[in-house]
């Protein structure tokens, strides 16, 4: 494995499948991905001033 392949494995697809967790534990994330990204962007912008 070259460095490019390792970087692709680490950064290529960061999507996580939580369907098994939902099924087995009945768990759902407390915050949606969209809401979390919005909060992260807002915090970043506030700290840039």
The predicted structure's pLDDT at residue 15: 83
Q: For the chain, what percent of residues have pLDDT higher than 70?
A: 98
Tokens 């407390």 sit on residue: 30
| 24 vs 13, residue with greater confidence | 24
The span from the CA of 34 to the CA of 10, in Å, is 22
| 1 vs 33, residue with greater confidence | 33
The predicted structure's pLDDT at residue 1: 62
Angle ∠(15,17,18) on CA atoms, nearest 5 = 130
CA-nearest of 37, 36, 19 to 28 is: 19
């Amino acid at each position: 494995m070259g460095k490019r392949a390792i970087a692709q494995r680490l950064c290529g697809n960061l999507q996580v499948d939580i369907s098994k967790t939902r099924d087995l534990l009945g768990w759902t994330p407390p915050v949606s991905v969209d809401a979390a990204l919005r909060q992260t962007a807002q915090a970043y912008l506030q700290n840039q001033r």
